[in-house]
Amino acid sequence: MLRDGGYLLYALLNRAGAHPSPARASQFYANPTTRVIDYDFNGLHIVRAYWITQSIQLHSELCQLAAPVLSWNDRWGTLYERTQLEFLPLAAEIERRYREPLEQALAQVLDAKLVQLTVGDVRVGARAA
């Protein structure tokens, strides 16, 4: 490695963390029922809307914390309240729509596991008898 001027070591270390893992793509770009990854968000408008609402909530809470320090007095309070009145119902609806397919997929997996456990218990019971 030293004869090559450290290039091999550099290449190995550079590649170790250069690319994101497939877990992120699976979480953010995959259809929860088929697990097909779609990087173009075709048909995944709810997923995109969910993450945008999460971003807006995080940003508005950060601004709420920073407002006293930055002397954003009455104007910020009024803007924050008006924004929350309009935003929170939309965010709740987006979260409901986002969670619905995830909960359905989880229910299918749990039902399948329950069937396997039930079948396994029956077999064990039959062997023991």
CA distance 49 to 36: 19
99-104: long-range pairs with CB below 8 Å, 24+: 101/31, 101/32, 101/33, 102/32, 104/32, 104/33
Average confidence score pLDDT of the chain = 76
Q: 71 lies in which domain range?
A: 23-123
Its pTM stands at 0.60
In-domain check, residue 6: no
CA distance 52 to 46: 10
Query: What is the pLDDT at residue 60?
Result: 92
In-domain check, residue 45: yes
In-domain check, residue 3: no
**Which comes out higher in pLDDT, residue 20 or 124?**
20
